[in-house]
Amino acid sequence: MKFKLVRLAILTIIFLFGAFSLVAQTSLSAQTGAPRVDVLQIKGVINPVLAEYIQRGIEDSEKSGATVCVIQMDTPGGLDTAMRDIVQSITNAEVPVVVYVSPSGGRAASAGVFITLSAHVAAMSPNTAIGAAHPVAMGEQEISDDMMEKVVNDAAAYIRSIAASHGRNADWAESAVRESVSITETEALELNVIDMIAPTLEDLLVQLNGMSVTLIDGSTITINTESAAVNRFEMSWIQSFLFAISDPNIALILLSIGSLGIIAEIFNPGLIFPGVIGAISLLLAFYSLGTLPVNWTGVLLIILAFGLFVAEFFTSSFGLLLGGGLAAFILGALMLFQGASPIFQVDWWVIVLLALLIGGFVAFAALFIVKTYRRKATTGKEDLIGRTAVVRRKLNPEGTVYLNGELWNAISKSGNITPGEEVIVTHVNGLKLSVTKKAKE
């Protein structure tokens, strides 16, 4: 009886396992047969991290056989080099790429205009805008009129080429570069800048269904989004982290923390923690600055500032070096991205907060060092000077005295002194004390 029950249980398990496998296989087959739509996200400033993410996302769409790759975008613009990398990834994609300016209230400004016009299909949400693509000098203090004209002409030719390759309004595209014009989604559709307006991603997929697009190799693909499964392709954790620190405010904060950590380790060798944090922060700061349009005059001013802070620890300047360092730090922070687009400027409150924190830290450290130097020694021969000792063997002028539980050889500087009298230590010469008779109170 027991054997039959075990046998029945085994057969039941095998049956359930087989049924589960059949259902899973059927579900997998259904998913495999259904079209797939990959969705990427551009939110914020265009930089190298974002360019690498878009490139990786498009490559994944190509390998997985996605029917279309949608890039949802809301950006104020960004770096020209990163923008061109994204445009190249879209242009050379082996899968249709749709750039969708969303959500409502979003924009495709500056570099975002180039990216939108490079898409096989360009779409916008209601209450969005596109335009203002005039080039801005990146990290330069001054740029000549002739050089700026060359930059503008290059950008205008580039955007005309992009727009014309997709049959879009090349004249408006050029005016967005030369005159910084901006338009709404309705005007963009009327001027043949975009292909459609879609309130939501679901509505976009409905409108995309059945559209035909031509890829770079000349092949024509008909987009099928009917009952498509939406796959959101997210940044990896390392990309998210690097994208987060590629911010002007974060770069300045990391540079400040790194410098303070190194200074703390130099003045307190062996603490380890400040040095490790400082080194890591500096490396991250250098990476962040490498992704931004840096004005190196600002960087040098900040380095000068921390040099003055260090000098404050060694010089009695009554705060003059500290004040000069703070002035250099504030000027350096303001100039760190001078000449670049306003989207790359450090917020004023960040500069003020850092100046206050750094100034407080340096002032506290300087006062601590001064107090340490002025503090009476508690060990070594310096500690003996000024101490009271008792004569044990007559000083004539040499003898012995009792001090700190020990007998010391001593020499009197004030004549003969009899045993039992108190003397004051005035000098220490090796193991011999120079003493003088203690005045009677």
What letter would DSSP give residue 338? T
Tokens of 13: 């398990």
Question: Which one has a higher pLDDT value, 362 or 154?
Answer: 154
Mean pLDDT of 189-215: 95
Tokens of 173: 């595209």
How far is residue 255 from each of residues 131, 176, 248, 277, measured CA to CA in Å? 34, 36, 11, 11
Contact 35, 229 (CB under 8 A): yes
* pLDDT value, residue 41: 95
* pLDDT value, residue 19: 43
pLDDT bracket for residue 173 (50, 70, 90): very high
Among the listed ranges 30-34, 54-58, 254-258, 403-407, which one has the minimum average pLDDT value? 30-34
Q: How many other C-beta atoms lie within 10 A of the C-beta of residue 208? A: 25
* pLDDT value, residue 333: 93
**Residue 204 is inside which H or E element, if any?**
helix 201-208
Tokens of 215: 């890829």
φ and ψ of 434, to 5 deg: -100, 130
Place of tokens 């939406």: 230
What's the mean per-residue pLDDT of the chain?
85
Contact 116, 194 (CB under 8 A): yes
Q: What is the residue-wise DSSP string for 86-142?
A: HHHHHHT-SS-EEEEE-STT-EEETHHHHHHHHSSEEEE-TT-EEE-------S-S-
Summarised one tens digit per residue, pLDDT across range 103-148 is 999 999 999 999 999 999 999 999 999 999 888 755 444 566 778 8
Question: Which one has a higher pLDDT value, 340 or 72?
Answer: 72
Residue % of the chain over a pLDDT of 90? 55
Summarised one tens digit per residue, pLDDT across range 317-326 is 677 888 899 9
Give Cα 149 distance to the centre of its chain.
Answer: 33
pLDDT of 17 > 60? The answer is no
Among the listed ranges 6-20, 94-108, 250-264, 384-398, which one has the minimum average pLDDT value? 6-20
Handedness of CA 361, 367, 370, 376 (dihedral sign): negative
* pLDDT value, residue 21: 42
Handedness of CA 361, 367, 370, 375 (dihedral sign): negative
Mean pLDDT of 24-41: 64
pLDDT of 2 > 50? The answer is no
Residues with a known catalytic role: 110, 150
Contact 86, 52 (CB under 8 A): no
Question: Which one has a higher pLDDT value, 141 or 370?
Answer: 370
Instruction: Tell me whether residue 317 is exposed, middle or buried, using C-beta atoms within 10 angstroms of its C-beta: 0 to 12, 13 to 18, 19 or more.
Output: middle
What CA–CA distance (Å, rounded) separates 318 from 254? 29
What CA–CA distance (Å, rounded) separates 274 from 211? 59
What CA–CA distance (Å, rounded) separates 54 from 168? 23
The domains of the chain, with CATH numbers, are: 31-237 (3.90.226.10), 247-374 (no CATH), 381-437 (2.40.50.140)
Give Cα 312 distance to the centre of its chain.
Answer: 29
pLDDT of 354 > 90? The answer is yes
Mean pLDDT of 16-38: 52
Contact 423, 399 (CB under 8 A): no
Summarised one tens digit per residue, pLDDT across range 241-284 is 999 999 999 999 999 999 989 888 887 777 788 889 999 999 99
* Of 387, 367, 368, the residue nearest 377 (C-alpha): 387
Contact 282, 254 (CB under 8 A): yes
Q: How many residues does the chain have?
A: 441
Place of tokens 């307190």: 268
Question: Which one has a higher pLDDT value, 232 or 9?
Answer: 232
* pLDDT value, residue 8: 43
What CA–CA distance (Å, rounded) separates 259 from 357? 13
* Of 53, 102, 84, the residue nearest 162 (C-alpha): 84
Mean pLDDT of 21-48: 69
pLDDT bracket for residue 34 (50, 70, 90): confident
Q: Give bridge partners of residue 122 from the DSSP assignment.
A: 99
Place of tokens 């924190």: 357
* pLDDT value, residue 25: 38
Contact 225, 205 (CB under 8 A): yes
Tokens of 194: 């975009």
Tokens of 59: 């490559």
pTM beyond cutoff 0.85: no
**Packing angle of the helix pair 273-290, 237-245 (nearest 10 deg):** 80
* Of 361, 294, 324, 353, the residue nearest 79 (C-alpha): 294
Mean pLDDT of 408-435: 86
SS3 435: strand
pLDDT bracket for residue 9 (50, 70, 90): very low
Mean pLDDT of 363-382: 65
